[in-house]
Every structure is written in C-alpha cells, then in structure tokens.
Amino acid sequence: MSKKYLLDVNVLVALTSDEHEFHKKAHQWFDLLNAEWALCPLSEAGFIRLAANPATRMGAGSMERATEVLADLVRLPGYSYWPIVNSWVTLTSSFAARIFGHQQVTDACLLGMAIKEGGVLVTFDRGLRYLAGQKFSKNLLVLE
C-alpha cells in the first residue's frame, strides 16, 4: 500500500509562497510525490491564518486570495481530506509523555492524526523528531 502524507502548515506555506525560505525544498519533494497527500482542519486553518496575514509576506495577503490558493491546492492530484474525528487526548495518547509544552499542541495533534491514519506528517520542524521518538519515526518526514 502506498504511503499517505499529511502536510504541516509550514510545508503548505512553503509550497505556495515564492518568498518562503524553503519554497524550493518543498517543491522538490511535492513535485516528485506520487502518493496520497492530505490536509486536515488544523493544517487548512493554519495556512489560511498565515497566508491571509499581509504582515507575513508569505502568501496571499487577503482572506479571499488565501481561500482561492487553498481551493487550487486541493484540486491537485493525490489530495485527500482527513477530518478530525478523535479527541486531542486520544490522538496524542501514545506519545503523551513526550509532549512538554503548549507550543506542541498543534504539532502533537497532527502527528497523532498521521499515526491514526497510518500516514506520515511532512514538516520542516526538526523538533518533531523528539515528539515522534523512535517508535513513531516512520510517521514523520522532516524535509531538509
């Protein structure tokens, strides 16, 4: 069975913004991808929040344009939508002892979703390696 990939917000922003420092790296990975890739409510909302903010200079700059960019993305081959159907506590229970701070809440949820779906969370955030640990390292891809 083919791997399934859940994209982190930082990967989404990098894919859609020429100005992002990892734009080229994101495309090098995504353009060669021949597998299912997914978004969830957290990754979509995080993308819209950053892309619609004119101060970030990393995206569309307006809600309307950010929404259009997201709509264009989900029409690309391989896309699937992963709804959040489990609680945060349930999604993170298998690695809860590794969560040490409030800044990991969203990351932990995304990693938990990838584990639940038998998929891989794709990110630029190297700190997620600790959260995944050895046990869930197969559920994490850090683009470098």
Look up the pTM and report it. 0.93
Mean pLDDT score of the chain, rounded to an integer?
Answer: 92
Cβ within 8 Å of residue 78, ≥6 positions away: 33, 34, 35, 36, 37
The pLDDT assigned to 57 comes to 63
Cβ within 8 Å of residue 139, ≥6 positions away: 111, 114, 115, 119, 120, 121, 132
Nearest CA among 1, 68, 71 for reference residue 36? 1
2-43 residue pLDDT tens: 799 999 999 999 999 888 899 999 999 999 998 999 999 999
| pLDDT greater than 60 at residue 74 | yes
- DSSP-assigned beta bridge partners for residue 7: 122
d(Cα 60, Cα 121) in Å, to the nearest integer?
24
127-141 residue pLDDT tens: 999 999 999 999 999
The pLDDT assigned to 58 comes to 62
d(Cα 68, Cα 41) in Å, to the nearest integer?
16
In the block, tokens 């979509």 appear at 44
